[in-house]
Structure 1
């Protein structure tokens, strides 16, 4: 069995907007969501740069018992999933009566682990930890909470694949629906933004220290880039069998046409143009399209010296001389880590819907490897029908997705 897989609902909670329309305005206007969090510097970080997110207020929305078990990233994911289900026209009655699955990307839950350890260190009594921390601290915190809140009865697991987690979650959901194993799956990615979660990245010297102008710190493909900016939130998508969506009268936003993946097989933090190219090529092949047909590439480019370089080389090998516009929305959002592969699909579908390419802001002088790429430095108003979205992560995990505008 080989079925068509479509997107019928989307939700987003990020540093550039708490819903799709706020996000759309930020993307179109090239508005950065990056700022300084003084607590990071007080804690001992080299860099205080981060995506600035508003935390959702769930008191009065969810009961206290439910709220106690929600980690930070699960709170973001709840808001994104709620928006996605609403757009898809899926209510509580539908969820109770039908089998709907959930596959989410999430690769850490640091804050509750550290807070529980601090209680133990101070009180020496595990009874004082309380019941909520176990459900907040497990890597499956998003899945277990959302599946309970929304009464989901289908496939239920977490994808832990570093910064490709959100993309792989969509790819795996795509494969399950395509093969007839599920009719509908909630897929996405979530990332905590508390300073506990990113100290180890700061220790690697991976973060930009361009703190004098936070909005200009994330500079994908620019020769003067000096590191990524940590960010997060959550993105959720309702993936559905095409015939199933049509039968229930759903509005189809886009179609997922291809999923490509690979592993670099090299150093644990070493990017690879060969690995990147393999994932992109596999996604294009499954979608049945050529590089010439792609209108836009949402690049993984995080603003790190090595990562951007190798992706640019891979993109040049695939797209040199082709028409595809390229930009990294991380120039505005920072690196949303475990959620990025999912949020960037949401960003891309928004661009499809409204006919524009979001700019790669802060690109003043492209690095040598990116000089031949067709990078959008300002908003481009143009039809967008086919998109390739890249996500790469530590350990050499690569994911690429091809999405097609609904017709």
Structure 2
């Protein structure tokens, strides 16, 4: 069995509707804040009233000038700002650029920008901005980030639907573990949805209905009996992953080590979850971490508020012997970041471990299983030495990630 004991997280960046940057995000989490409202970004509403959580303002990165930023999509701007925070904390400017990699989690990331471009130039397509030839490709984010930060190791995108953010972390950890690079940044990129994607997700029954527009603060309710599907939330997360000892003389204490992980497939094109796939992912991640289920102090579940998905996830936790662990649902505060969700939730886990506190779960008034150890109305103090974070994506993708304190 491969030894993952020296794979650590040394930098974090995060941008969400409830806070940009680690400090603001942590404050938003522990207070149970929200920014759920009827979404109003251009290209996101048609004759509909979809509820979501939008980033209120974005602090731009200093890596690009104003002229360059004019050609960068909202997804790209959020990626740069989020990566800047993680990069600066990990002090990567002084590291060998050829030994740094980048994995961007997500696909079809800039849909709203593309719809706006199509609408703007429908009558005069030959006036289309040349940068469109780059921006309709997800690899544009790789080019943007590697140019801005000087990354010279490798970079690629990785699509796993709502598991993309956690898949990016796992791929980055594998790259460091194998020696391909010494440091790798995992970026869960913002999926900028247009009204087309919102309509499609709504029509398949995955999203909360438009009926919640009159009380948007009550719309997002993972694991509650009154849940009605997921509520979208703009978000982006970045983690710097490196092998312990890769930089001799570095004194900073890592956030945690990535002690085990797993990716399991269901062989299923459809969006429905699989109890077998989820339990296999959990058990393999625990096995690779060398942890018995009772060693896990806290689980951060996928928890989208899907009618079937939440029930299946609770059944998986029961089947894997994790009913003793504390539970909360980060999406109840941030909304569902889709491609970014797994990375943002990993950041949330690490901040909770660092602060010794677990954030509340909004709108959990009638849990589907009240016997589990939910953190409900208020944040609670908790020592977390071993945690488990879960992500699932359409197409039968199941991932699990164990994070442990460096002294455990």
Measured against the shorter chain, the TM-score band is over 0.9
Report deviation, 1:26: 1.3
| Paired residues of 2:59 and 2:81 also in contact (CA < 8 A) | no
Structure 1 residues 195, 120: closer, same or farther in 2, change over 3 A?
closer
Total equivalences in the alignment:
399
List gaps (5 residues or longer) in structure 2.
Answer: none
Structure 1 residues 22, 288: closer, same or farther in 2, change over 3 A?
same
| Paired residues of 1:390 and 1:400 also in contact (CA < 8 A) | yes
Matches within 5 A, 1:139-288: 139-196=138-195, 197-209=197-209, 210-245=212-247, 247-288=249-290
SS of 2:99 mapped into structure 1: coil
* Residues 269-305 of structure 1 deviation map (CA, whole Å, 9 limit, x = unaligned): 1111111111111111111101100011001010111
Report deviation, 1:232: 2.0
Structure 2 match to 1:384: 384
Distance, in Å, in 2 between the alignment partners of 1:60 and 1:247 is: 28
* Residues 65-103 of structure 1 deviation map (CA, whole Å, 9 limit, x = unaligned): 532442221211111110001111222x5355x421100
Distance, in Å, in 1 between the alignment partners of 2:214 and 2:190 is: 26
Which runs of structure 1 show a deviation greater than 6 angstroms over 4 or more consecutive aligned residues? none
Residue range with higher mean Cα deviation, 345-354 or 304-313: 304-313
Structure 2 match to 1:291: 293
Structure 1 residues 70, 38: closer, same or farther in 2, change over 3 A?
closer
SS of 1:169 mapped into structure 2: helix
Distance, in Å, in 1 between the alignment partners of 2:120 and 2:216 is: 35
Report deviation, 1:385: 1.1
List gaps (5 residues or longer) in structure 1.
Answer: none
| Paired residues of 2:63 and 2:148 also in contact (CA < 8 A) | no
Structure 2 match to 1:17: 19
Structure 1 residues 60, 88: closer, same or farther in 2, change over 3 A?
closer
| Paired residues of 1:143 and 1:156 also in contact (CA < 8 A) | yes
| Paired residues of 2:44 and 2:194 also in contact (CA < 8 A) | no
Structure 1 residues 176, 38: closer, same or farther in 2, change over 3 A?
closer
Task: Give the CA RMSD over aligned residues.
Answer: 2.1
Matching of residue 338 in structure 1 with residue 343 in structure 2:
no
Structure 1 residues 88, 198: closer, same or farther in 2, change over 3 A?
same
Structure 2 match to 1:365: 366
Residue range with higher mean Cα deviation, 339-348 or 66-75: 66-75
Matching of residue 89 in structure 1 with residue 91 in structure 2:
yes
Structure 1 match to 2:104: 104
Report deviation, 1:231: 1.1
Report deviation, 1:215: 2.0
Distance, in Å, in 2 between the alignment partners of 1:14 and 1:165 is: 17
Distance, in Å, in 2 between the alignment partners of 1:29 and 1:336 is: 20
Structure 1 residues 73, 38: closer, same or farther in 2, change over 3 A?
closer
Matches within 5 A, 1:285-364: 285-319=287-321, 322-364=323-365
| Paired residues of 2:61 and 2:84 also in contact (CA < 8 A) | no
Report deviation, 1:405: 1.8
Distance, in Å, in 1 between the alignment partners of 2:205 and 2:185 is: 35
SS of 1:146 mapped into structure 2: helix
| Paired residues of 1:72 and 1:192 also in contact (CA < 8 A) | no
Structure 1 residues 255, 217: closer, same or farther in 2, change over 3 A?
same
Distance, in Å, in 1 between the alignment partners of 2:125 and 2:344 is: 41
Report deviation, 1:55: 4.0
Matching of residue 52 in structure 1 with residue 54 in structure 2:
yes
TM-score (norm 2): 0.92
SS of 1:206 mapped into structure 2: coil
| Paired residues of 1:263 and 1:398 also in contact (CA < 8 A) | yes
Structure 1 residues 236, 347: closer, same or farther in 2, change over 3 A?
same
SS of 2:288 mapped into structure 1: helix
Distance, in Å, in 1 between the alignment partners of 2:198 and 2:144 is: 23
Distance, in Å, in 1 between the alignment partners of 2:3 and 2:153 is: 19
Distance, in Å, in 1 between the alignment partners of 2:248 and 2:357 is: 27
Distance, in Å, in 2 between the alignment partners of 1:60 and 1:290 is: 45
Distance, in Å, in 2 between the alignment partners of 1:169 and 1:157 is: 10
Distance, in Å, in 2 between the alignment partners of 1:59 and 1:287 is: 37
Distance, in Å, in 2 between the alignment partners of 1:5 and 1:341 is: 18
TM-score (norm 1): 0.92
SS of 2:58 mapped into structure 1: coil
